[in-house]
Amino acid sequence: MDNKKEILVSAIDNGTVIDHVPTDSLYQVIRILGLERYNDEVLMGNYLASGKLGRKGIVKIRNKHFSVDEVNKIALVAPFASIIDIEDYKVVRKYQAEIPDHIDNCVRCANPKCITNAEVVPTRFDVVDKENLKLRCHYCEKFTTKETMKFTE
């Protein structure tokens, strides 16, 4: 008798799977994509076994496909995430998230005196170092790093 137990999760017919998310970044990915307000099936799993990461997070979103800009924002917190587009229960596209050259309306400026923190002005950053994740504010030119990064609500 086999004592292994598994929980089976139904496949999605249409939507997106985000795989290989670092366990400490899963909830940031959910927030970046606004999935806490999404009104269809969203399945998340965390601390799942992974040959690539040791442990990983995964998100399945039914009836939702993301723009390249939305997916690339994931790379800010999950640089090795795989994005899998599903149609009619089949994988139609699989690709890696990539850090874009510019980030808009996703991250707050670390400078408390920046106009984006004082007024309703959308944030805009240039990515000046993708390897160490260093962003420069378009308005005040101050730097935000992975350690000081806070995401907009």
Residue 139: CATH number of its domain: 2.30.30.20
For tokens 């996703």, what's the residue? 106
On whether residue 57 sits in a domain, the answer given is yes
CATH of the domain at 28: 3.30.70.140
Q: Note down the domain range covering 89.
A: 14-96
Mean pLDDT of 26-43: 92
92 and 107, same domain (yes or no): no
pLDDT at 1 over 60: no
Structure tokens at 47: 């601390």
Whether 21 and 84 map to the same domain: the answer is: yes
How many whole angstroms separate alpha carbon 21 and alpha carbon 35? 15
Number of domains in the chain: 2
**What's the pLDDT at 102?**
92
Q: How many residues does the chain have?
A: 153
Per-residue confidence band for 58, with pLDDT thresholds at 50, 70 and 90: very high
pTM score of the predicted model: 0.81
Instruction: Count Cα atoms within 13 angstroms, Cβ side, for 138.
Output: 14
Amino acid identity at 93: R
The CA distance from 153 to 145, in Å, is 18
Which residues make beta-bridge pairs with 145?
134
pLDDT computed for residue 136 by the predictor: 97
Confidence (pLDDT) at 142: 96
Residue 4: pLDDT band with limits 50, 70, 90 = low
What's residue 2's pLDDT? 55
Domain shared by 20 and 43, yes or no: yes
